[in-house]
């Protein structure tokens, strides 16, 4: 994997670049749709490719390991072939999923013991076998196994957790370096900065993983309960240390405003389930603000979902039609909303990239922030 920095925005830490993988090139900053189990919910791969123009999507090691399982994925020739996707894929290590199963897991020096949320069966994730599983999945970018503590965890717990994450990282890095991909394409390995909301721990972690010299680095453990301003502060703290010549991936974030603020602070890659999850529940993000499609005010509004017209969805569906579909509980409502929101997110990071390259990101940012946070 290669990363080329192409432009920086005066007065900010925003930057535009390009990540090159064996499955294609990714312009940054970029938003990555979440395809947890090998499927972006409600969205066909053709729509991801053509309508949304997703340059990279995510899969999740925890979910894919449990179902369909590594035997099926290996027989299929990896996740790309299994799901019919020829562009890059990033896989999360499953650390966050194990964290979210707090009543079903136990952490030790060895790894994370957990019970499946599907059938209650017992499993163990270690730093080594998580690399092995991601080799079988065949993702272009693999993530290190880490512990993701709660956003408001006490300092002593956060420090102890960080030590475990760093020790796991060294073991996972060793396994990564002594193994190779199974399907003829290269795989990068990203370590993850942790440290909850404590600046000294975040700095320690950023320095530790920077010294590893990986192809890229991730920022984890944010947007998990801490105030938004604390999240922004932690991003700034970490990005002061993370190498500028490597991509920076902010995990699991967030709203359109979060995306813009993260880019302003030097983040290159982001992902979140919000566009599809909120879309399925009737919330649409647009260049003019946020709409609840069940509101009666849209019942006789025959204008397109967004003034950008067909740039977000194949057809200029009207607000009235999409509201009708939601009220009638038609599946098409959720599909249209999911495609629209994902396309909007890709449009938003594309616009950020354009303004970074043109040199006016700092003046564009407050204007777009005001617009995307409106409640229409």
The dihedral built from the CA positions of residue 104, 152, 173 and 64, taken in this order, carries a sign that is positive
258: CB partners within 8 A, 6+ apart: 223, 228, 231
Residue 47 half-sphere exposure, CB side, CA atoms within 13 Å?
20
- Catalytic annotation present for 132: no
CB contact at 8 A, 303 and 323? no
Helix (H, G, I), strand (E, B) or coil at 260: helix
For helices 331-358 and 319-327, give the axis angle rounded to 10 degrees: 140
- Catalytic annotation present for 92: yes
Catalytic: which of 51, 92, 140, 306? 92
Rounded-to-integer distance, Cα 346 and Cα 340, Å: 10
206, 21, 143, 29: CA torsion to nearest 10: 50
Burial 198-211 (b: 16+ CB within 10 A, else e): beebbbbbbebbbe
* Strand (E) or helix (H) holding 8: strand 2-8
CA-based end-to-end distance of the chain: 42
Catalytic: which of 146, 264, 268, 271? 271
44 Cα distance to chain centroid: 19
299 Cα distance to chain centroid: 34
Kindly state the tokens that stand for 23. Answer: 């499955």
- Single out the residue of 9, 14, 133, 47 nearest to residue 346, CA to CA: 47
Catalytic residue IDs: 92, 271
């Amino acid at each position: 994997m290669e990363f080329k920095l192409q432009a920086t925005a005066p007065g900010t830490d925003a930057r535009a670049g390009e990540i090159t993988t064996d499955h294609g090139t990714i312009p940054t900053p970029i938003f990555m749709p979440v395809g947890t189990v090998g499927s972006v919910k409600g969205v066909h791969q053709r729509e991801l490719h053509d309508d949304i123009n997703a340059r990279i999507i995510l899969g999740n090691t925890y979910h894919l390991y449990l179902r369909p399982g590594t035997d099926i994925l290996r027989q299929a020739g990896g996740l790309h072939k299994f799901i019919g996707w020829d562009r890059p894929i990033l896989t999360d290590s499953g650390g966050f999923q194990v964290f979210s199963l707090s009543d079903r897991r136990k952490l030790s020096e060895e790894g994370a013991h957990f019970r499946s949320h599907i059938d209650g069966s017992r499993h163990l994730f270690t730093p080594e076998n998580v690399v092995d599983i991601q080799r079988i999945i065949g993702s272009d970018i693999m993530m290190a196994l880490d512990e993701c503590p709660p956003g408001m965890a006490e300092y002593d717990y956060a420090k102890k957790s960080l030590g475990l994450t760093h020790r796991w990282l060294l073991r996972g890095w060793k396994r990564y370096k002594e193994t190779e991909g199974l399907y003829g394409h290269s795989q990068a390995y990203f370590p993850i900065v942790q440290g909850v909301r404590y600046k000294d721990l975040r700095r320690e972690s950023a320095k530790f993983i920077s010294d590893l010299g990986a192809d890229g680095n991730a920022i984890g453990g944010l947007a998990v309960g801490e105030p938004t301003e604390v999240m922004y502060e932690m991003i700034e703290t970490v990005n002061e240390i993370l190498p500028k010549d490597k991509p920076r991936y902010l995990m699991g974030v967030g709203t359109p405003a979060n995306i813009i603020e993260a880019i302003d602070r030097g983040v290159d890659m982001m992902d979140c389930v919000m566009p599809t999850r909120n879309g399925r529940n009737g919330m649409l993000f647009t260049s003019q603000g946020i709409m609840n499609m069940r509101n009666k005010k849209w019942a006789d509004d025959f204008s397109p979902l967004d003034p950008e017209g067909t740039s977000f969805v194949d057809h200029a569906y009207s607000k009235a039609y999409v509201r009708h579909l939601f009220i009638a509980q038609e599946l098409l409502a959720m599909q249209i909303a999911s495609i629209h929101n994902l396309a909007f997110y890709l449009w938003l990071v594309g616009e950020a990239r354009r303004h970074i390259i043109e040199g006016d990101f700092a003046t564009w940012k407050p204007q777009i922030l005001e617009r995307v946070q409106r409640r229409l």
